[in-house]
Structure 1
Amino acid sequence: MKLAVKVVHAQFAKDPDFRGRFRQEVAAARRVSGAFTAPVVDADPDSERPWMATLFIPGPTLSDHVKRNGPMEAAQLRRLMAGLAEALRDIHRAGVVHRDLKPSNVLLADDGPKVIDFGISRPVDSELRTETGRLIGTPPFMAPEQFRRPREVGPAADVFALGSVMVHAATGQGPFDSDSPYIVAYQVVHDEPDLTGVPDEVAPLVRRCLAKEPEERPTPDELMRELRSVAASYDTQTFIPAQRTWDTEGSGPPAGRPARTAEADPAVEAGAAVEATHAGRGRKLRLGRRAALGAGAFGLAVVGALASLPLLDGDGGSPRPASPRTTSAAFSGWRTTPAAGDSAPLCSHGAGRLLCATSGLVFALDPSDGHVLWRHPVAKGPRKEPPVLTGGLVQPAMDPGRRLKAFDPASGEVRWQRDAPGTGSAVYAGGMLLFTGTDGKVAGVDGASGDPRWSHRIPGHEMPYVATFTGDPSAYLSSASQDGSGTRVTAVDPETGDVRSDARLDGTLKPIGATDGSVFLLSLDTVHGDARAVVRYTPKTGETRRVPLTTPLQQPHGAVRGNTAYLLGTGGSLVAVDLVAREQLWSLETGMMRGSTPVAGDRYVYVTASDGRLLAVDARRGNLAGQTPARLGDRPDRVAAGLPEPVVVGDRVYGSAPDGTVFGVNGRDPAAW
């Protein structure tokens, strides 16, 4: 295979701050490796001269294409915009904000545009400074908030950059042009964009992308939907530039450049495409340790200073009446739409209530009939996790402004509110909220009061992935090694941060569940990130059991009940693995392209499909036992970033759908759904 290699110049390799940012770039690039990026094959950010090798992508950069062939035609622009919107959607789903999308960072491959170069700050790109140091980005393609509030930059900044990139593709210049980066900065913040020459059919969308305020810009999903309405025939999977005018003698630019040239980025040297063979046949590329590509793809490291955005939306509104309430002893089910909108509410169960959230609203439902017990407006914005009961209070996920609120489960009144500590992600464990920061520290916040309890680094973890599981008293931190040969798994006490157990296990592993004193992990392929085995590790005895999967699963979600792990991969393959019998029990092709994390009850495994169906699968035999109707609503073309997990409470199962419906069904009889 051919590789493209990026090597940091010696003078910048001596700068610890630059090394830290390059390390973050490597982590981000690994995390987003997929159909719209150049996958990382190997890297060593800690070597004397830090470097990263990515798969060589044939195709010119958008910058080179426009220089040689001129502005793109309208049809090409539609395909480019759709492909980049889809790329940003996947990048944001991985929890990454690019922050430097520009024409030289877009490769025009035959199968669609690829986005490259994640998060590295080039000290010589701009002499502008923030109060805290260097400005991250390239001024002509930066959003206003990158100049005004650099610490609050989120995924909407990438959408602004997309608008600027589209103007460049359509006209050969940006919407804000000047030889001075200071003037460009002023224009970006204060002036209207110059869209002269942008075709009328895409100009309105481009203008929306270039809105000054982040909340006024469309999401990548909205862009894709609007582009379908403009031209239903566009194809984001086939992007072939109309002209390829590289000189016939082969002296022009290389066909693909996943790394910048030294001229484009004085901090980085770009090696030519390098041929590498598999290790078993000898290795021509001897750059250092092998990278664990799958670790990034499944988030085994929390990427510092990179915000995340699940692409869900919806507006709060007046509740619609629930269907007739259950009056008989047998639970016959109900459905209701408690908030107007077109996103699936995210729900959990606690304090005898269904606790749900959607954009702009947190609410509680009576599980017996679905009527609204209370509702409370919150900051609008996408939600990644449902509210949970922690410390006796309802704790919704952080709002887009990283504001924490805790509600009384009976009345919905706010008990306390705080700014989230640091800039990292949060998980809930017992009565605690655990935060991971970009400095590698983990902090514990008391769920009942909102007061900080502890904050420190966990030995052996620079930027750990933290997971907690219902019924297990520990929080699990995992960090994969650079070469993918092992993963450090540490159990800590959420109340104090004290280490309860610590081990280095073989392979690149992702925790998916814990039961009876054991933690279950997926063993991931270091090339594609596919799951190839399930591992059960028991800290008390040190025993490790590994059960291979019959067929690797792509991007799997996993859950555990008893000694069985249930896994659902992209494409709809659902499998059950018994860790005591050490065998795969069954496999079912559900027909879904995407589904939620499975949830296992006593007799059935439940999964939410992207069209709003709730599926029940017999846990022993692996056959489909029943499913609810699809509930897509009036926007069937919309693709949600994450799907709500079903909520199982005894013999009742609760689900939600993209049309805003929340419903309850009798889990004893899925065939009657």
Structure 2
Amino acid sequence: MAPQGNTGAGAEAELPEYAGHYRLESCLGSGGMGVVHVARSASGMKLAVKVVHTEFAKDPEFRGRFRQEVAAARKVSGAFTASVVDADPDAERPWMATLFIPGPTLSDEVKRNGPMAPAELRRLMAGLAEALRDIHRVGVVHRDLKPSNVLLAEDGPKVIDFGISRPKDSELRTETGKLIGTPPFMAPEQFRRPREVGPAADIFALGSVMVHAATGRGPFDSDSPYVVAYQVVHDEPDLTGVPQNLAPLIVRCLAKEPEDRPTPDELMRELRSVAASYDTQAFIPAQRTGDEPGPGPRKPASRPRRRPPGKAALAAVAAVLVLAGVLACVQMLGDGGGTAAKGGDKRTAAASGFVGWESNPVPKGTGAVQCSYGTRQLVCARPGTVFALDPSDGTLRWQRSVAESSPSKAPAVGGGFVQPMVDEGRRLEALDPASGKARWRRTLPAHHALQLAGGTLLLTLLDGTVTGVDAATGATKWSRRMPGQPMPTFVSFAGDPLAYTMNLSGDASTTRVTAVDPATGAVRWDARLNGNLTPVGVQDGSVFFLATDNLYGDTDAVVRYTPASRSSDRVKLPVARSDAQATVHGNVVYVLATNGSLDAVDTDAGKRLWTLETSVSRGSVPVADARHVYFTAADGRLLAVDAAEGRLVGQTPARLGSNSGTVAGALPKPVLADGHVYATAPDGTVFAVDARKPSDW
């Protein structure tokens, strides 16, 4: 794998000395998922070993995705990739070892030495076309081809990092500003129709990579990823500086519609006509000195690029593209939407007598506000702060700084106290619901997972030990390991007395589900179910799951398991959904995908009842009652869909505030309580509306 600079000293310091039988010698680089090391086998063979970050090692879903990455990398191992030598997705810190490939990444090469010469470009394009042919032949779509994922080895380019394994908060930009996706190298369908992305998306990326190699920039260029996203979908590429003999091929690769792009075999045929023969010199380009001219600027024979619209127009259209069609939804609703109140002013009373409100209790904070309902109040957390609001009008009741142990999710209420949920802090506190003062404290280990189930906090350590902590006193109730669950992390659902932990099999074909009594640690039932399953709810003694495929992690079915009868029912979705989230009401599972597709699946009838394209690019986990399904969008809107008919019936105004240039990594789900919906927005607002009157929002 590619030599890269170390970008995280903290991440490097936490790494073990060995991964399996391979000794880790030095750090090649650190990324969002893990750290890549130079390593040696017992025989002295040089390897590149990726070791997953601790925080992701604790996540069963991430482990499942890592298994998929390993499986995909093994399938495509060959002349144009870094062959997988060994891997252990079930290790305490999952890892994968590949052959070490000497040579820079294309990104580093262009950065150091400038654009490539025409002959080098022909060889690069031919090599990438061959690599994609072999990758696509085994049924894999890379989906993340870019200069930093191309190694320039002596015998040709190697494609690495298959983009199969990605955390749940991947988006164009996280709250910290870290760029996760790379819009100039993403195809238009990846923005417009994510579930329809196929091999042609890799061809588009190849075209963008070639422009970068030829010019040092992408075919679509802007400081804003959202403007680039607009250009990818609507504008013609800028090919200034691309050699004239390659420009027509690259234009075809960058066609807006997938069916208009060439296949890898067609590319290789046409490249033979561009150059009758290829020389056999080493592929790694010679380094240029400052006195040597690079390829001069050329204006190839291609379609003229349209002049980009003005900044205001771009911002508006980019918001429609990336934040999911605000205008389309407004047109659907007509003039029914209300105007947002300012500074906590009360809004017009609904017919029920409830007055909607909005509040910004921590105006100087950053990061999403996450809330839950308990002890007759709304308890919320923002990085560094926990606070409580009066649910009737949004008045701030109390606020407490928790800078040493910043909550990672919404606070929970158990044992009569407010429990800030901290996964990385060193101190656990139970707060008085009336004042926010700490009533007991407990020191935590550096790395752990925490879940409240009933009146018990379930604390999982890196060695797999689970401890039940009394939420009322902080005392240890029990401590044990869970059979068949080497690294148990739990989920629980309101009103259900049990907690659940999952373990995916090595080949990702089955999931072992263990149901635990949180008060005693006793296993109440244990089952091995077909598929890669994620629990989404419990109703009437049955547990409901989303089932994902073993290649891309798309949801392709809904599963209901009834432990009393040991029966399992599976309802296949007509179309697989990307990064889906779901909720359950009755026997209906509502599945919301990243592109805004909302499906209602009746597990009794064994079929999908309806589907709705909401035009929301990314939504929160939905919640539902008997009438409506509710979820929030990345721009701060709360939307309501009729649960029986599958039509959009209401939405609130967008609330982006000063955070309009970022997209939250995770969207807090709405809270349903006492006939009201409570939601939060990227600008720090917490607001409440009448659940029964979405048309009045």
What TM-score range do you get, normalising by the shorter chain? 0.5 to 0.7
1:517 Cα deviation from its structure 2 partner: 1.4
**Gaps spanning 5+ residues in structure 1: where?**
1-5, 74-102, 120-154, 161-225, 256-319
- Give yes or no for the alignment of 1:659 onto 2:683: yes
- Give yes or no for the alignment of 1:505 onto 2:501: no
Could you tell me which residue of structure 1 aligns to residue 610 of structure 2? 586
SS of residue matched to 2:564? coil
Task: Tell me: CA distance 1:337–1:34, structure 2 relative to 1, closer, same or farther (3 Å).
Answer: farther
Could you tell me which residue of structure 2 aligns to residue 527 of structure 1? 551
Could you tell me which residue of structure 2 aligns to residue 214 of structure 1? none
Q: Distance in 2 between matches of 1:377 and 1:356?
A: 12
- Give yes or no for the alignment of 1:323 onto 2:319: no
SS of residue matched to 1:376? strand
Cα deviation, 1:246-274, whole Å, max 9, x if unaligned, reads x954564699xxxxxxxxxxxxxxxxxxx
Q: Distance in 2 between matches of 1:382 and 1:353?
A: 21
Assess if the C-alpha contact under 8 Å between 1:107 and 1:116 holds in 2.
no
Task: Tell me: CA distance 1:104–1:440, structure 2 relative to 1, closer, same or farther (3 Å).
Answer: farther
Task: Tell me: CA distance 1:240–1:499, structure 2 relative to 1, closer, same or farther (3 Å).
Answer: farther
Assess if the C-alpha contact under 8 Å between 1:354 and 1:365 holds in 2.
yes
Assess if the C-alpha contact under 8 Å between 1:359 and 1:380 holds in 2.
no
2:507 to 479, 483, 492: 483
Task: Tell me: CA distance 1:628–1:585, structure 2 relative to 1, closer, same or farther (3 Å).
Answer: same
Task: Tell me: CA distance 1:569–1:229, structure 2 relative to 1, closer, same or farther (3 Å).
Answer: closer
Based on CA coordinates, which of the two structures has the bigger radius of gyration? 2
Task: Tell me: CA distance 1:619–1:157, structure 2 relative to 1, closer, same or farther (3 Å).
Answer: closer
RMSD: 4.9
Identical positions, percent = 43
- Give yes or no for the alignment of 1:460 onto 2:484: yes
**1:404-423 equivalences in 2 (<5 Å):** 404-421=428-445, 423=447
Assess if the C-alpha contact under 8 Å between 1:30 and 1:39 holds in 2.
no
1:342 Cα deviation from its structure 2 partner: 5.1
SS of residue matched to 2:361? coil
**1:283-294 equivalences in 2 (<5 Å):** none
1:38 Cα deviation from its structure 2 partner: 11
Task: Tell me: CA distance 1:250–1:332, structure 2 relative to 1, closer, same or farther (3 Å).
Answer: farther
Could you tell me which residue of structure 1 aligns to residue 338 of structure 2? none
Could you tell me which residue of structure 2 aligns to residue 598 of structure 1? 622
Could you tell me which residue of structure 2 aligns to residue 374 of structure 1? 398
**1:101-250 equivalences in 2 (<5 Å):** 107=150, 227-228=223-224, 248-249=278-279
Cα deviation, 1:78-110, whole Å, max 9, x if unaligned, reads xxxxxxxxxxxxxxxxxxxxxxxxx9985479x
Task: Tell me: CA distance 1:597–1:641, structure 2 relative to 1, closer, same or farther (3 Å).
Answer: same
Could you tell me which residue of structure 2 aligns to residue 333 of structure 1? 356
1:644 Cα deviation from its structure 2 partner: 1.2
Task: Tell me: CA distance 1:660–1:117, structure 2 relative to 1, closer, same or farther (3 Å).
Answer: closer
Cα deviation, 1:156-175, whole Å, max 9, x if unaligned, reads 99989xxxxxxxxxxxxxxx
1:577 Cα deviation from its structure 2 partner: 0.9
Task: Tell me: CA distance 1:573–1:652, structure 2 relative to 1, closer, same or farther (3 Å).
Answer: same
Task: Tell me: CA distance 1:409–1:375, structure 2 relative to 1, closer, same or farther (3 Å).
Answer: same
Q: Distance in 2 between matches of 1:25 and 1:647?
A: 31
Could you tell me which residue of structure 1 aligns to residue 378 of structure 2? 354
1:448 Cα deviation from its structure 2 partner: 1.4
SS of residue matched to 1:398? coil
Assess if the C-alpha contact under 8 Å between 1:60 and 1:254 holds in 2.
no
Cα deviation, 1:211-230, whole Å, max 9, x if unaligned, reads xxxxxxxxxxxxxxx95399
Assess if the C-alpha contact under 8 Å between 1:40 and 1:52 holds in 2.
no
Letter of the 1:333 counterpart: G
Could you tell me which residue of structure 1 aligns to residue 577 of structure 2? 553
Letter of the 1:371 counterpart: T
2:112 to 66, 70, 74: 70
Q: Distance in 2 between matches of 1:326 and 1:68?
A: 59
- Give yes or no for the alignment of 1:641 onto 2:637: no
SS of residue matched to 1:332? coil
1:446 Cα deviation from its structure 2 partner: 1.6
Letter of the 1:337 counterpart: N
SS of residue matched to 1:634? helix
Q: Distance in 2 between matches of 1:158 and 1:37?
A: 28
Q: Distance in 1 between matches of 2:393 and 2:68?
A: 44
Letter of the 1:562 counterpart: G
- Give yes or no for the alignment of 1:670 onto 2:694: yes
1:563 to 583, 587, 604: 587
Q: Distance in 2 between matches of 1:656 and 1:158?
A: 20
Could you tell me which residue of structure 2 aligns to residue 449 of structure 1? 473
Cα deviation, 1:357-402, whole Å, max 9, x if unaligned, reads 1122111111111111111112178754111101111011217533
Assess if the C-alpha contact under 8 Å between 1:536 and 1:546 holds in 2.
yes
Could you tell me which residue of structure 2 aligns to residue 616 of structure 1? 640
Task: Tell me: CA distance 1:374–1:485, structure 2 relative to 1, closer, same or farther (3 Å).
Answer: same
Could you tell me which residue of structure 2 aligns to residue 163 of structure 1? none
Could you tell me which residue of structure 2 aligns to residue 125 of structure 1? none
1:494 Cα deviation from its structure 2 partner: 0.9
SS of residue matched to 2:695? helix
Q: Distance in 1 between matches of 2:456 and 2:164?
A: 33
Letter of the 1:458 counterpart: M
How many residues in Structure 1 have an aligned counterpart in Structure 2? Answer: 467
Letter of the 1:324 counterpart: K
1:463 Cα deviation from its structure 2 partner: 2.1
- Give yes or no for the alignment of 1:539 onto 2:581: no
1:416 Cα deviation from its structure 2 partner: 1.7
Cα deviation, 1:281-315, whole Å, max 9, x if unaligned, reads xxxxxxxxxxxxxxxxxxxxxxxxxxxxxxxxxxx
SS of residue matched to 2:689? strand
- Give yes or no for the alignment of 1:572 onto 2:596: yes
SS of residue matched to 1:477? strand
Q: Distance in 1 between matches of 2:229 and 2:639?
A: 32
Could you tell me which residue of structure 1 aligns to residue 200 of structure 2? none
Task: Tell me: CA distance 1:497–1:254, structure 2 relative to 1, closer, same or farther (3 Å).
Answer: farther
Q: Distance in 1 between matches of 2:682 and 2:484?
A: 41
Q: Distance in 2 between matches of 1:253 and 1:25?
A: 34
What TM-score does the superposition give when structure 1 sets the normalisation length? 0.60
SS of residue matched to 1:509? strand
Could you tell me which residue of structure 2 aligns to residue 184 of structure 1? none
Cα deviation, 1:541-580, whole Å, max 9, x if unaligned, reads 1010101112111000111112111110110011111111
